């Protein structure tokens, strides 16, 4: 039922040309080279070290590997990860 | 930029979060809409910046997440304000200093008068003072236009004046009129300036006292500063007052009185002469005067050479305030000299003596004089080593000078 609803919503969003992240409550991940990574619409931090940041998302979590990682900005809506990013990975 | 400014004004605290799950604390903060930034992790310790106002709100979150929070640093206006408040006297002093400078700068300290030639600057400063322009007066009370006008009216020699402020100094700039030279109308005689024989006598005003061919001495009256009063004379009156001496009126005598004047001078030259030249060897003596004491830093043998001349250089500290401390250094350099005897011919010696004699006479003769004759005479004396020359010059020149009649 939920899957079907999602499919319909996605269909409508595509047709009406509405950004899907708003309709489907998806995270928007913006990367600036390997220096900055901005995650909007996150659900909190699971783990943070200087080499790994795990961010909880709506579906699963996001692994960010790298070194000298800093959280430049931490708000309800967004997380800004700074440093040298080596790998971004989705995990469920 | 605006965010940074807000952070600065509100003040921010750097905290260190210790515990098993610092991430939990972060999530709680995010949930509470507490803004964190600049998070970094070093050896299990999490550092983060937090706003000062939020800092008081995290206590329950710290309890809930089983972490310990310690303050590691702070930045921003509230902390600066606290430090300033702790040293309020310093700030007060700085403010007082600025106020004092401002107050002192609003007064006039110096009044300078520039550009005067004939009139005395004191006189102009005096007029300015009458209108309130003097040291120790508030600058705002000065109306420079009014003072300019006052100076123009009070001192007629001034044709243009400007009063300018440059800091605490007031410069009164003045341009003077060039007034036509006023003729001295006071009665005066023309008297002789030198001894001579009158060759020409033209009296323009006054009565001539000498005539052509007269011999006059220095100081003699040449033209008297009087003029006969011409009264309206009727024939009857003339007949009645004939024996009376005509009344006179003092005037300023004017006229040209030329006379022949003689000048004499003398010059000599030796046949055997010695000239000296520096050999290049020198000795230096350095003395240091300190108050009444003299300290020799370097001494020269006395006498340094058989024949020498010396140059002295004094170096002194600038006279500072009214300091009586008197330090002076004297550097005396002795130069060795060598004498060269020289023999010149009689003709050369004669020329030299003549030149000297002429030079000395030329200094006395006024430039306007007309030279009539020049008489050069070699004095014959029984001296083998000396040539003596006597020069006589005859001129015609204006010998009259004006002399006030003392009343």
Determine the pLDDT at residue B349.
Answer: 83
SS3 B374: strand
* pLDDT category of residue A82 using cuts at 50, 70 and 90: very high
User: Residue B271 has which token pair?
Assistant: 């046949």
- Dihedral sign of CA atoms B102, B103, B106, B111 in order: negative
Determine the pLDDT at residue B269.
Answer: 81
Cβ pair B37:A71 closer than 8 A: yes
Mean pLDDT along residues A29-54:
90
Q: How far is CA B327 from CA B85, B300, B324, B356, in A?
A: 50, 21, 9, 45
Exposure on the CB side of residue B118, measured as CA atoms within 13 A: 12
Q: Is B7 on the interface with A (CB under 8 A)?
A: no
Q: Indicate if the pLDDT at residue A21 is higher than 90.
A: no
Rounded Cα gap, residues B219 and B401, in angstroms: 9
Q: What is the ipTM of this complex?
A: 0.76
Residue in B152, B105, B159, B157 with CA at minimum distance from that of residue B128? B152
Residue in B208, B212, B199 with CA at minimum distance from that of residue B395? B199
Rounded Cα gap, residues B314 and B333, in angstroms: 11
- Dihedral sign of CA atoms B195, B201, B202, B208 in order: positive
Helix B77-86 and helix B88-105, axial crossing angle in degrees, nearest 10:
80
Chain B residue with minimal CA distance to A79? B37
Do the beta carbons of residue B73 and residue A81 sit within 8 Å?
no
Residue in B134, B131, B159 with CA at minimum distance from that of residue B147? B131
β-strands A36-40, A28-32 pairing? antiparallel
Confidence (pTM): 0.44
Q: Indicate if the pLDDT at residue A72 is higher than 90.
A: no
- Dihedral sign of CA atoms B24, B26, B27, B32 in order: positive
pLDDT tens for chain B, residues 1 to 407: 788 898 899 999 999 999 888 888 888 888 888 888 888 888 888 899 999 998 988 899 899 888 999 999 999 999 999 999 999 899 999 999 999 999 999 888 888 888 888 788 888 888 888 888 888 888 888 888 888 888 888 888 888 899 888 888 888 898 888 767 666 677 888 888 888 898 888 888 888 888 888 888 888 888 888 877 665 555 565 555 555 555 677 888 888 888 898 888 888 888 777 888 888 888 888 888 777 788 888 887 777 788 888 888 877 766 655 555 667 788 888 888 888 887 878 788 888 888 888 888 888 888 888 888 888 888 777 777 788 888 888 999 888 888 887 65
Do the beta carbons of residue B12 and residue B52 sit within 8 Å?
yes
User: Residue B288 has which token pair?
Assistant: 């240091």
Of the partner residues B27, B35, B39, the one whose CB lies closest to the CB of residue A70: B39
Classify B288 in phi/psi space as left (phi over 0), alpha (psi -120 to 50) or beta.
Answer: beta
Determine the pLDDT at residue B1.
Answer: 74
SS3 B403: strand
Return the residue in B23, B28, B42, B58 with the most chain A beta carbons within 10 A, the one to mutate for interface testing: B23
Cβ pair B41:A49 closer than 8 A: yes
Return the residue in A40, A56, A70, A71 with the most chain B beta carbons within 10 A, the one to mutate for interface testing: A71
Q: Indicate if the pLDDT at residue A91 is higher than 80.
A: yes
Determine the pLDDT at residue B337.
Answer: 85
Chain B residues with CB inside 8 Å of A74's CB? 26, 29-30, 35-37, 39, 48
Do the beta carbons of residue B138 and residue B168 sit within 8 Å?
no
* pLDDT category of residue A33 using cuts at 50, 70 and 90: very high
Who has greater pLDDT, A13 or B101? Answer: B101
Mean pLDDT along residues A20-43:
86
Rounded Cα gap, residues B160 and B178, in angstroms: 12
Rounded Cα gap, residues B148 and B170, in angstroms: 12
């Amino acid at each position: 039922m939920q899957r079907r609803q999602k499919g319909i919503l996605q269909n409508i969003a595509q047709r009406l040309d509405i950004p899907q992240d708003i309709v489907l409550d998806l995270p928007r991940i913006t990367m600036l080279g390997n220096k900055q990574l901005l995650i909007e619409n996150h659900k909190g931090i699971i783990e943070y070290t200087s080499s790994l940041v795990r961010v909880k998302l709506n579906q699963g979590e996001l692994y960010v590997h790298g070194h000298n990682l800093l959280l430049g900005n931490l708000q309800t809506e967004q997380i800004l990860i700074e440093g040298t990013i080596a790998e971004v990975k989705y995990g469920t | 930029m605006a965010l940074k400014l807000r952070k600065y004004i509100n003040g921010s605290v750097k905290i260190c979060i210790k515990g098993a799950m610092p991430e939990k604390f972060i999530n709680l903060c995010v949930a509470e809409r507490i803004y964190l930034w600049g998070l970094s992790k070093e050896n299990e310790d999490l550092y983060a910046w937090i706003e000062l106002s939020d800092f008081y709100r995290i206590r329950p979150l710290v309890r809930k997440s089983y972490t310990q929070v310690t303050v590691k640093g702070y930045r921003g206006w509230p902390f600066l304000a606290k430090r300033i408040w702790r040293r309020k006297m310093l700030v007060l002093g700085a403010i007082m200093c600025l106020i004092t400078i401002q107050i002192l700068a609003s007064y006039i300290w110096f009044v300078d008068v520039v550009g005067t030639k004939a009139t005395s600057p004191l006189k102009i400063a005096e007029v300015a003072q009458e209108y309130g322009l003097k040291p120790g007066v508030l600058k705002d009370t000065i109306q420079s236009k009014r003072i300019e006008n006052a100076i123009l009216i009070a001192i007629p020699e001034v044709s243009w004046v400007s009063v300018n402020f440059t800091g605490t100094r007031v410069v009164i700039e003045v341009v003077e009129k060039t007034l036509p030279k006023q003729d001295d109308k006071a009665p005066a005689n023309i008297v002789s300036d030198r001894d001579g024989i009158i060759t020409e006598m033209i009296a323009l005003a006054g009565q001539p006292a000498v005539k052509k061919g007269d011999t006059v001495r220095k100081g003699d009256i040449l033209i008297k500063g009087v003029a006969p009063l011409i009264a309206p004379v009727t024939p009857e009156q003339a007949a009645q007052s004939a024996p009376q001496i005509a009344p006179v009126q003092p005037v300023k005598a004017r006229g040209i009185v030329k006379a022949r004047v003689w000048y004499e001078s003398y010059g000599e030259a030796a046949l055997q002469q010695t000239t000296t030249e520096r050999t290049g060897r020198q000795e230096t003596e350095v003395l240091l005067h300190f108050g009444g004491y003299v300290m020799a830093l370097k001494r020269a043998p006395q006498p340094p050479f058989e024949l020498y001349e010396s140059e002295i250089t004094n170096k002194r500290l600038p006279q500072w305030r009214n300091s009586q401390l008197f330090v002076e250094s004297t550097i005396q350099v002795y130069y060795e000299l060598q004498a060269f005897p020289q023999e010149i011919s009689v003709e050369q010696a004669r020329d030299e003596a003549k030149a000297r004699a002429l030079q000395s006479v030329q200094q006395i003769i006024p430039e306007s004089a007309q030279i009539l004759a020049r008489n050069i005479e070699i004095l014959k004396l029984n001296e083998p080593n000396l040539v003596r020359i006597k020069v006589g010059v005859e001129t015609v020149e204006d010998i009259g000078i004006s002399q006030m009649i003392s009343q």
